């Protein structure tokens, strides 16, 4: 066993932990933005909280930037999900569930909690092999 082989698991674990950290941050940010977007939609379309314009279309309550910002944040979230999924070599069903976390309100918080368990199990199994 060479010195490079001995440091590989520690390096891999560190990179995997960094990837999981990025995913966790994006899960919370995406979940928060999705809840904000849902609040905007309910206030705008259900309650017409800011009234309607001359054409009868509801006006934004929080701002039209919410949907735009959530869209771009979701793209970053999807990239972090793919990075973590590919590093951990999880099943296809897990990536589908994690991706859905960015479009179903509050699911990102649930998926983050589950992914934490999956992640810890994978690291424990990896260290048991070593």
Confidence of residue 3 (pLDDT cuts 50, 70, 90): very low
Residue 25: inside a domain: yes
pLDDT in tens, 59-80: 999 999 999 999 999 999 999 9
Residue 44: inside a domain: yes
pLDDT at 2 over 70: no
pLDDT at 28 over 60: yes
Q: Are 31 and 101 contacting, i.e. CB atoms less than 8 angstroms apart?
A: yes
- pTM for this predicted structure: 0.88
What's the half-sphere exposure (Cβ side, CA atoms, 13 Å) at 96? Answer: 3
Q: Are 4 and 11 contacting, i.e. CB atoms less than 8 angstroms apart?
A: no
Residue 107: inside a domain: yes
Residue 116: inside a domain: yes
Confidence of residue 129 (pLDDT cuts 50, 70, 90): confident
Q: Are 74 and 27 contacting, i.e. CB atoms less than 8 angstroms apart?
A: no
pLDDT in tens, 82-119: 999 999 999 999 999 999 999 999 999 999 999 999 99
- Domain containing 34 equals 17-129
């Amino acid at each position: 066993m060479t010195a490079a082989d001995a440091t590989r698991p520690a390096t891999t674990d560190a990179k995997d932990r960094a990837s999981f950290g990025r995913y966790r941050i994006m899960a919370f940010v995406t979940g928060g933005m999705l809840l904000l977007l849902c609040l905007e939609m309910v206030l705008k379309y259900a309650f017409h909280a800011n009234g309607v314009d001359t054409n009868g279309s509801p006006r934004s309550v929080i701002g039209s930037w919410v949907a735009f910002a959530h869209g771009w944040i979701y793209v970053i979230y999807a990239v972090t999900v793919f990075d973590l999924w590919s590093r951990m070599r999880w099943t296809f069903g897990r990536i589908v569930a994690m991706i859905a976390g960015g479009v179903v309100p509050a699911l990102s918080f649930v998926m983050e909690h589950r992914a934490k368990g999956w992640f810890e199990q994978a690291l424990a199994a990896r260290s048991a092999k070593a």
